[in-house]
Amino acid sequence: MSSIASSVVTIETSPECIPSTPSWLGEVAVMAHYLSRLGLLERIALEVRFSRGRFGIYEVIDFVAVLIGYALSGERTLEKFYERLEPFALPFMALFAREQLPSRSALSRYLGALDQSTVEALRSLFQEDLLARPPREEGGEQRAGLQDRCADLWKVFDEDATRQAARQRALPHSSDLPSASRRMNEVCAPGYTGRKRGEVVRTRTTLLQAHTQQWFGTYGQAGNGDYRGDLLRSVQILMRYAAKENLPLAHILLRLDGQYGEMAVVIDLASRGLCFLTRGKDYGLLDLPLIQAHLQGPPDEVFTHAETGTSRALFDCPHFPLPGTGLTMRVIVATHPATGTPAPIGVTRDGVVLRHSSSPPCRNALLLLAMSLLCTCIEVPSRPSSPTRTKSKILTAGSLRHPVDRSFGKSSPNGCGTCVWNWAIVSIRLRCASPNLRRPNPLPTVKLPSLI
């Protein structure tokens, strides 16, 4: 038997503090190199101007670089981000071809004084770059989207407005004290809080492409916001996108939730020729004679979900006239028996829960299938081993923090968690159902409703 000689381990220590490199610095380096190669950093420095005193040597590009790094770092607050970045400030700014990192006070003054015109200039610049370089598959052909049996390509977008509540401390009020001044008053206002705890809220509206998960627009406003104005801005973006991709505007499918389910919004979208899909919130529509006549007859389709066993009876009203206009829309009413638990969506009448969705009068198979899925409120189970997590940011006492992670597939603050996962499943099954597509690993097809 051979003996193994014991080795000597030498441990050296030093009182000098050598901080470790942040784990996110490599991702920032890749992003900075990509933006520099595309010329975006140079365009920001030359085209986006914002002049104000007490900025010293800093330009807009300096603050944009800090915000990009903060977004990629995942740090809970800007204060923690600056503490982690301070030992590497010079190489960090060198990635963006800048020399000096703006101080925290300079960044605070910049964000407080930033006007809307500068924000719109940055927004327009990034939107132009997004439309100029769409994602391409192998062969250079862009096929991301939903494809029906007629080989027509559809682009699905999701717009949703999310409110975040901010809690405020109780301050003393007396004649010998000045009036209270809260920092949240500049970005928040009283509004609908829902089930969230807080006194003031802020609304963020996002426009996301479901297939590529690209952000095409994000708008933030105090209080409940202007959801109709933000929707019209998103429509303008989608019109430019359709013109850039040479797609018919009717092949852009915009999914909206119940907040947009009023008649005025439907008229706005129908008059612009956009294909939309929204859940209605005006339940007085169900009392109209045309809808009541359909509800008295047999359902056009009974849809049963294979996983949850939930069954919905669908009533199709293909040509419903919009009041005051020469336009028509399609209304599908979904009904199911009421249970002991009150239904969170819909109205209960005579032991039956009714909910309805609206869309343009189109008989396309893809659109009707999507409407059926939306009406039946399919619950997609979250994947237990998914590496993707959704984080939200909640405003508390003037700070921005991340709460506990939420599993992908559940409701997310930006309103796209469940929607994107649902559309992904529909996309996969529709592509497999199309006879014109080659698929090495076929998946089960989905049964289309007979009313198509």
Same domain, 228 and 288: yes
- Asked if 92 and 232 sit in the same domain, the reply is no
State the pLDDT at residue 117: 87
Q: In degrees to the nearest 10, what's the CA dihedral of 424, 428, 430, 436?
A: 140
User: What is the pLDDT averaged over residues 116-141?
Assistant: 78
Residue 42 lies in a domain: yes
Q: Looking at residue 4, what is its pLDDT?
A: 59
Please report whether residue 174 resides in a domain.
Answer: no
Residue 383 in this model has a pLDDT that exceeds 50: no
Q: Say yes or no to pLDDT of 427 above 70.
A: no
Cα(72)–Cα(33) distance, rounded to whole angstroms?
A: 14
> Is 137 contained in some domain?
no
pLDDT at 5 over 90: no
pLDDT category at 234 given cuts 50, 70, 90 is very high
Place of tokens 């959704």: 390
pTM of the model: 0.71
Is 445 inside any structural domain? no
CA atoms within 13 A on the CB side of 184: 23
In a domain, 92, yes or no: yes
Q: Could you give the number of structural domains in the chain?
A: 2
The CATH code of the domain that includes 192 is 3.90.350
The pLDDT of residue 318: 82
The pLDDT value given to residue 289 = 87
Contact indicator for 123, 206 with CB cutoff of 8 Å = no
> Are 108 and 160 members of one domain?
no
- Is residue 192 within 8 Å of residue 115, measured between CB atoms? no
> How would you classify the pairing of strands 311-321 and 301-304?
antiparallel
Residue 301 and residue 332 in one domain? yes
Q: Are residues 420 and 313 in the same domain?
A: yes
How much is the mean pLDDT over the chain? Answer: 75
Q: Which one has a higher pLDDT value, 125 or 53? A: 125
The answer on 339 and 254 residing in a single domain is yes
Condensed to tens digits (0 to 9), the pLDDT of residues 30-72 reads: 999 999 998 999 999 888 888 776 667 888 899 999 999 999 9
Burial of 338 (0-12, 13-18, 19+ CB in 10 A): middle
Average pLDDT over residues 179-198: 84
The tens digit of pLDDT for each residue in 176-185 reads: 888 878 878 8
Q: What is the pLDDT of residue 301?
A: 79
Give the pLDDT of residue 89. Answer: 92
Residue 410 DSSP label: B
In this predicted model, what pLDDT tens digit does every residue of 235-271 receive, in sequence order? 999 999 988 888 888 888 888 888 888 888 888 888 8
Of 278, 272, 271, the closest CA to residue 238 belongs to 272
Domain around 87: 25-132
pLDDT, residue 101, reads 92
154 and 270 belong to one structural domain: yes
Judgement on whether residues 267 and 377 belong to the same structural domain of the protein: yes
- Average pLDDT of 399-423? 34
SS3 438: coil
Residue 390 clears pLDDT 60, i.e. is over it: no
Rounded to 5°, angle at Cα 272 from 424 and 207: 35
Region of poorest pLDDT, from 12-16, 120-124, 244-248, 398-402: 398-402
77 belongs to a structural domain: yes
* Domain match, 122 and 188 both: no
Residues 310-358 pLDDT 10s: 788 888 888 888 877 788 888 888 888 888 888 888 888 888 888 888 8
The answer on 196 and 83 residing in a single domain is no
Sequence-ordered strand ranges (E) for 123-281 = 146-147, 153-166, 200-209, 214-222, 252-256, 275-279
Degrees to nearest 5, angle at CA 30 with 27 and 32: 105
Residues 35 and 64 in one domain: yes
Note the pLDDT of residue 127. Answer: 86
* Between residues 383 and 106, the one the model is more confident about: 106
216 vs 148 pLDDT, higher one = 216
92 pLDDT higher than 80: yes
Residues 188 and 327 grouped into a single domain: yes
pLDDT recorded at residue 387: 35
- Classify residue 7: in a domain, yes or no: no
The pLDDT assigned to 55 comes to 66
Q: Judge whether 404 lies within some domain.
A: yes
Four-CA torsion 194, 265, 335, 314, nearest 10 degrees: -150
In Å, how far are 59, 259, 265, 283, 311 from 227, measured between CA atoms? 33, 8, 10, 20, 33
Split at pLDDT 50, 70, 90, the class of 304 is confident
